[in-house]
Amino acid sequence: MDSQKLQQFFDRVSQVIGEDNVSLHASSGGLEGPSGSTAYGDPFASATNRDPSGAVRPKNVEEVREIVRLANRFDIALWTVSRGKNLGYGGSAPVVKGTVVLDLHRMNTIVEINEEYGYAVVEPGVSFFDLYEEIQRRGLNLWPSVPAIGWGSVLGNTTDRGFGYTPLGNHAEAQCGMEVVLPNGELLRTGMGAMEGSELFALYKGGFGPSVDGLFFQSNLGIVTKVGIQMIPAPEAYATVEVEVPQESDLVALVGILSDLMRRSVILNSPSIANIFRIALTSGVAGVQARLQECMKPNSYVPYDVLEEIRVEQKWGFWRAYFSLYSQVEMLPGLLQATRRAFDALPGATMNWREFSGRPGESITTALIKEEEIPHSGIPTLAPLAILNSRQGPGSHVDYSPLFPPSGRELYEWYLKAKQRTVDAKFDFFADFHVFPRYVIGIELIIYTAEEAERVDQLMRHVIHDAAEMGYTAYRTHLDYMDEVASHFNFNGGALRRFTTKLKDILDPKGILSPGKSGIWPSNKSGLHSKPRM
């Protein structure tokens, strides 16, 4: 990047947004990360240096538009982040080293919350904590969906196809209405928002004619500055449920039953599934933690015979599924009975639940439920951050998130191979599988230390390659693997990638916005593609 043009860009942007909102270096200015640092970049150790050259922090849409115009004028690439909390996928680091971070965390207005229709309209800087706390402050009977860690952006998580844990936990599907700054600085609204004065921005996604919202998910074709997100009304009755099964091979039946109950609308939210390692690590049982710590250190892992001893002693299952039931008062007993009947067919399965039966016409309050291990009631938390340093040193994590059909058979076949790869690389397999009616996300979360960054990179490349050979790939991925995962979408010689390249050439020929995001490049920047390593 031309240093003179970069300085000119920073000078001009400072006149627009103020010097205090421009970072000439990546060392400060971002929101505080898990280690307390405010530096931009990936807060976790990585095998690749992708440090940005600085950052700019606009406060409103007009400032974003002017920054984009100036970036085009001075040929400065921008990497857009909402709050920079995309942990395990790259944080606020760009694909291309030296790119300037366009940090939108100061755009933190909750534009609207509508209790009657169950939606909110938010800017990029609004966190899940912000939205939840505003709902509580107003005393609204709404349960927002939140992910495992609540300090991220509602908008950012949604546009990266993230998910939470209420019945509207698939945030990309719960999204309705977008406002977007295009690569030339023009402002666009999608769906019904394209009509001046429409009251259906967050109510009807389709609009009229082609629906273009999908172009701005996981993409670099525009900067999303507002999004509508739909939420569930607080239910009258609620039960949070755990189902455990004793055998490793029981995963197949467990997933099959869960997905069938979802297709029948008995279970409405996305169940998550933990394996015995995750159950033990997050248990809080002192004796169990001590035994894990004997093995959890760099270049080591917890042997499965140790995990089996712990499982038997504690009377835990090998797998544990977490989900909830949401209903009117009269319906909850029937939902619980139907769920129990389904799992009675699986030998060795046990089902436990906490029930909040409520009263007809009254909503369950989250104050009654209090914070949960899995936020099925929409109460955000930072508790999962505690596992990061479990390998006896400052820790990092990276996620691999492949998709499978919902029978459980395909997931189990992949899991056995990935588990062996993980053990061979001397890491622990942490399962965070998520079941949906017609697919499963088989997330493997790998915890590692800085000295293990190269080895974890090789493990990631192996599990990505193995899954692709089986016909599966990820729904999102870390920056280091975006080009590789994009190459898996190879129907008709990669027609999809050629199409997105054409769109990039038309909308953003200079490659100003987030070059390389999701493997999307303008044709004149093809030489920047990262090459897979094995």
Token pair in block for residue 423: 């053990």
Phi, psi of 463 (to 5 degrees): -70, -35
Angle, to 10 degrees, between the axis of helix 251-263 and the axis of helix 332-344?
Answer: 150
3-state SS class at 45: coil
3-state SS class at 118: coil
**Does 117 participate in catalysis according to the annotation?**
no
**Does 40 participate in catalysis according to the annotation?**
no
Cβ burial 168-189 (10 Å sphere, 16+ → b, else e): bbbbbebbbbbbbbbbebeebb
Nearest-angstrom CA–CA distance, 248 and 275: 9
Contact 61, 16 (CB under 8 A): no
DSSP state of 268: -
Contact 108, 122 (CB under 8 A): no
List the 78-81 sheet strands across, edge first. Answer: 22-23, 54-56, 100-103, 78-81
DSSP state of 401: -
CA 500 from chain centre, in angstroms, equals 23
Question: Which is catalytic among the residues 204, 304, 439, 475?
Answer: 475
Nearest-angstrom CA–CA distance, 297 and 281: 13
**Sign of the dihedral through C-alpha 50, 56, 58, 64:** negative
Determine the longest span between alpha carbons in the chain, in angstroms. 70
Please report which residue ranges of 323-365 form alpha helices under DSSP H: 332-344
Nearest-angstrom CA–CA distance, 428 and 3: 44
Question: Which is catalytic among the residues 83, 320, 476, 497?
Answer: 476
CA nearest neighbour of 128 among 182, 73, 181, 165: 165
Angle, to 10 degrees, between the axis of helix 251-263 and the axis of helix 409-424?
Answer: 140
* Helix (H) or strand (E) segment spanning residue 454: helix 453-469
Token pair in block for residue 7: 């300085």
Contact 59, 13 (CB under 8 A): no
Cβ burial 375-384 (10 Å sphere, 16+ → b, else e): bbbbbbbeeb
Question: Which is catalytic among the residues 89, 132, 400, 412?
Answer: 89
**Does 481 participate in catalysis according to the annotation?**
no
Nearest-angstrom CA–CA distance, 215 and 506: 13
Q: How far is CA 186 from CA 3, 41, 64, 223, 238, in A?
A: 27, 28, 10, 10, 45
Contact 80, 516 (CB under 8 A): no
Active site residues per annotation: 89, 475-476
